[in-house]
A and B are shown apart, each in its own frame.
Chain A
Amino acid sequence: MNAYVLGYLPLFDLFLLHLGLAYSQWLVLRSGVFSLATVGVAGVGAYTGGVLVVTYGLPAPVALVAAAIGGGLVSLLLAIPLARLRGVYQAIATVAFIQIMLSLNNYAEKITGGAAGLNGIPKVVDTLTLAVCALATIYLMTAITGSRIGRAFDAIRQNEAVAASLGVSIEAHHRLAFIVSGALAGFYGALEAFHSYTLVPSQFGFPFLIAILSYVVFGGRNTIWGPIVGTALLIILPELARPLAEARMLVYGLLLILTINFLPKGVADTLIERIHAKRLRAKPAPAPAPTAGS
């Protein structure tokens, strides 16, 4: 491989790591939950993985599985009080959760190393591992959302009362979305830990939350392509505009404002919708039934 390509490998790694977290965020939004807990749960996963390997000497694969399970459990616990909240109240509660996790990681110095960070984590995760994980994640997301469960998610998001009156259990589906989203966040948090040598609590704070949320909003919330397109564009764009790379968050913010205004469904979702519409128009329209409605 030539040096030019190798130079961009770290960027590709970043894309793969963030893609997993974007799917964690995407899944809850798809099921009609406005939870922003992904980053907080990723922090739990990262420290679970890091501490298990550094302090207890467990092998990294075991620590990764533990981080995924831990993330799923924390997220499930979070789902219980959040079941009664909707929309922006869920968002606020989960932002508070992120702050609590951040503070806990800061204060639990004996376990996490506190603000000085958790150091000496072995870097065992390479690009290939990340790529395999990302493909597996995309497969899992496609399988879930293409199934009966995915349709139930769509129904709940579009009209919760009608979904319930058709027999869709809101509680059960929301809980499922929380568990899978949390397990993903925990897993990718640990991948992040094993991809760098060190962890600091502030890594999993508000700026990271905004970045992950931007990927999904920018790319699209309803199709499987949304997180891929959003994460890729938002990681590549600041690199293309090297002089702006320092102002990454500023670029994110601007792009978000522009997307919300002009492509409210996100880049990928809007494109897919237009392609579908084109295809429908290209097909000869079915003869309108003489009985067609009002």
Chain B
Amino acid sequence: MLEVSDLQVRYSGIQALRGVSLNVGAGEVVALIGPNGAGKSTLVNAVSGLVKPAAGRILMEGRDLAAMDPWAVSKSGVIQVPEGRQVFPQLNVLENLQLGETALQGRPPAGGLEDVYDLFPVLKERSAQLAGSLSGGQQQMLAIGRALMGAPRFLLLDEPSLGLAPVVIAQVFAALRKLKSRGMTILLIEQNVRLALDLADRAYILDQGKIVLSGTSQELAADASVVAHYLGVMSE
């Protein structure tokens, strides 16, 4: 479904991505893991059209996303849940969700508001509350719900566990598992490797702008170097 080939991104001289290639098939959940500053968010932003690559191609079902404006990318059904939630604090929960519908433009909605409220009941309770007054976990749920309102065919999740309490992370990932069981295609960025490998079918490990390892989640979870580098002493 998504094919990234030899992607290079530079920020005023600094090379953030040095020729990254990866692919995500329809219905697959693929994780992109790696340390801080590896270029994970840069890759997501390049796919979203927010960052223009210096070289390489980002093909989504044959269309080159790199040549499109960010709003055109999301209207084509490739929707990002940004790192750090980034809800609109001065708008209420419902208004935030309704903004997510902007990406529809002619495409039929997936489950709409009811589906989002079903997935995250707390959003229904708080629909009239300003998004800025929600807790971090609720904001993350709102950010995911907002993206779902645009009926994504391809969901980009940038660090959904960032800064959340373990019990809230479990809730967010339970919802993601539900999305996966429905056949949603997802590219998941995570620093929490155990969590990522648990959810994903396959994973890529990005380090200093390059893919250093890839494989199925089981393979990577069993890989001695992955365990040593990313799972550390917490592995059993």
Chain A residues engaging chain B, CB cutoff 8 angstroms: 148, 151-152, 154-155, 158-159, 161-171, 222, 280, 286, 289, 291-294
Contact = CB atoms under 8 A, between A and B. Distances in A.
B150 interface: yes
Contacts of A289: 121-122, 125
Interface stretch (B137-145, B191-199, B219-227): B137-145
B136 interface: yes
B102 interface: yes
A294 B168 contact: yes
B103 A167 contact: yes
Contacts of A170: 71
B50 A167 contact: no
Given A289-B122, A292-B138, A167 B75 contact: yes
21 contacts: A155-B88, A163-B99, A164-B49, A165-B50, A165-B74, A166-B71, A166-B99, A166-B102, A167-B75, A167-B79, A167-B102, A168-B71, A286-B125, A289-B121, A289-B122, A289-B125, A291-B171, A292-B122, A292-B135, A293-B165, A294-B168
A165 B165 contact: no
A294 B134 CA distance: 10
Contacts of B100: 166
Most chain B CB within a 10 A radius of its CB, from A148, A158, A170: A158
A222 B90 contact: yes
A291 B50 contact: no
Contact of A166 (B49, B125, B146, B171): B146
Closest 8 CB pairs of A and B: A293-B137, A167-B103, A293-B135, A294-B165, A164-B70, A167-B74, A167-B102, A169-B71
B22 interface: no
Interface in B66-107: 69-71, 73-75, 79-80, 82, 86, 88-91, 95, 98-100, 102-105
A163 B99 CA distance: 8
B167 interface: yes
B164 interface: yes
Contacts of B147: 166
Nearest to A289: B122
Given A148-B102, A152-B102, 19 more contacts: A151-B99, A164-B49, A165-B50, A165-B73, A165-B74, A166-B79, A166-B99, A166-B102, A167-B74, A167-B102, A168-B71, A168-B99, A280-B129, A289-B121, A289-B122, A292-B138, A293-B135, A294-B164, A294-B165
A222 to B, nearest CB: 7
A159 B88 contact: yes
B48 interface: yes
Contacts of B50: 161, 164-165
Contacts of B18: none
B126 interface: yes
Contacts of B37: none
Interface in B160-181: 163-165, 167-168, 171
Nearest to A286: B125
Contact of A155 (B69, B73, B74, B91): B91
A155 B71 contact: no
A169 B69 contact: yes
Contacts of A151: 91, 95, 98-99
Contact of A293 (B48, B98, B103, B134): B134
